[in-house]
Amino acid sequence: MNADEIVKELRVAAVKWEDKHKFIGTGELRVHDALNDAADMIESLQAQLLQKTQQLAASQRRAQDARNELCQKCGRYREAHNGACDGCRWKE
For the stretch 50-85, pLDDT in tens is 999 999 999 999 988 887 888 777 777 777 778 777
End-to-end Cα spacing for the chain: 36
Residue 24's CB is within 10 A of a number of other CB atoms, namely: 9
**7 within 8 A of 43, measured Cβ to Cβ:** yes
Looking at mean pLDDT, say which of 9-18, 22-31, 36-45 comes out highest: 36-45
pTM more than 0.85: no
Among residues 32, 7, 37, the alpha carbon closest in space to that of 18 is found at 32
**49 within 8 A of 41, measured Cβ to Cβ:** no
